[in-house]
Amino acid sequence: MAIVYALLDVTYMALSIYLWILFASIILSWLTNFGIVNSYQPFVQAVGRFLYAVTEPVLRPIRRHVPAMGGFDLSPMLLILVIYFIQSLIRNIYLHGF
């Protein structure tokens, strides 16, 4: 049983880290689109490539099924809700057991 709880801990932590990466990707895209950040700088390009490589494989299938609403991409918000739902399930398992 301790192994299951350890795996749940690691999963919860990985989801938390992924949420931060997803938020960073969203913020960087806003900053780039509004011209606040120069997307031609090497550091910004490197960070952007990393964030794209980490988030796009998860967001792409969601984008296939959820169309953009007036040019606004809803897939990150849907992914955030799914991650919060999974984290809530993990917390409930800790509180109430299996």
Enumerate the H helices of the chain as residue ranges. 2-33, 42-65, 75-96
pLDDT of the residue at 48: 97
pLDDT of the residue at 5: 92
pLDDT at 98 over 80: no
How far apart are alpha carbons 71 and 20 in whole angstroms? 24
How far apart are alpha carbons 16 and 77 in whole angstroms? 15
pLDDT of the residue at 47: 97
**Planar angle of CA 57, 77, 11, nearest 5 degrees:** 60
Per this entry, what is the length of the chain? 98
90 vs 95, residue with greater confidence: 90
Average pLDDT, the chain: 94
DSSP class of 34: T
Residue linked to tokens 């031609």? 40
pLDDT of the residue at 1: 84
How far apart are alpha carbons 59 and 78 in whole angstroms? 9
pLDDT of the residue at 69: 85
Of the pLDDT bands very low, low, confident and very high (cuts 50, 70, 90), residue 87 is very high
